[in-house]
Chain A
Amino acid sequence: MPEIFGTLIDVFTRTLSGFLEATVITLQLTAVGIILGCLLGLFFALLKLSKAKPLQMIANFYITVIRGTPLIVQIMFLYFGITEFVTLSNYWAGAIALGVHNGAYIAEIFRGAIQGVDKGQTEASFSLGMTKSQTMKRIVFPQALRRSIPPLGNQFIIALKDSSLVYVIGVAELFSLANREAAQSFQPFETYLIVGFYYLVLVMIFTYLLRWYENKLDFDKD
Chain B
Amino acid sequence: MTGRTKTMLAALALAAGIAALVLVPLLLNRYGLYILSMWAIMSIAAIGLNLTLGYAGQVSLAQGAFVGIGAYAAAIITTQGWPLVAALVVAVALCFVIGWLLGYPALRVQHHYLAFVTLAFSTLAYLVFRNEEWLTKGIYGITGVPRPTLFGWPLAAPLRFYYFCLAALGIVFAGAWWLVRSPWGRAFMALRENPMRAMSLGVDTRRYTLMAFAIGSSLGGVAGVLYAPLVEFIDPTPFTLGLSLNLLMMVIVGGSGFLFGPLLGALISVLLPEWLRFSEGLYLIVYALFVMILLAWSPTGILGIVDRYLARRRARAASAARSAAMPEALP
A in complex with B:
no
A interface, CB within 8 angstroms of B: none
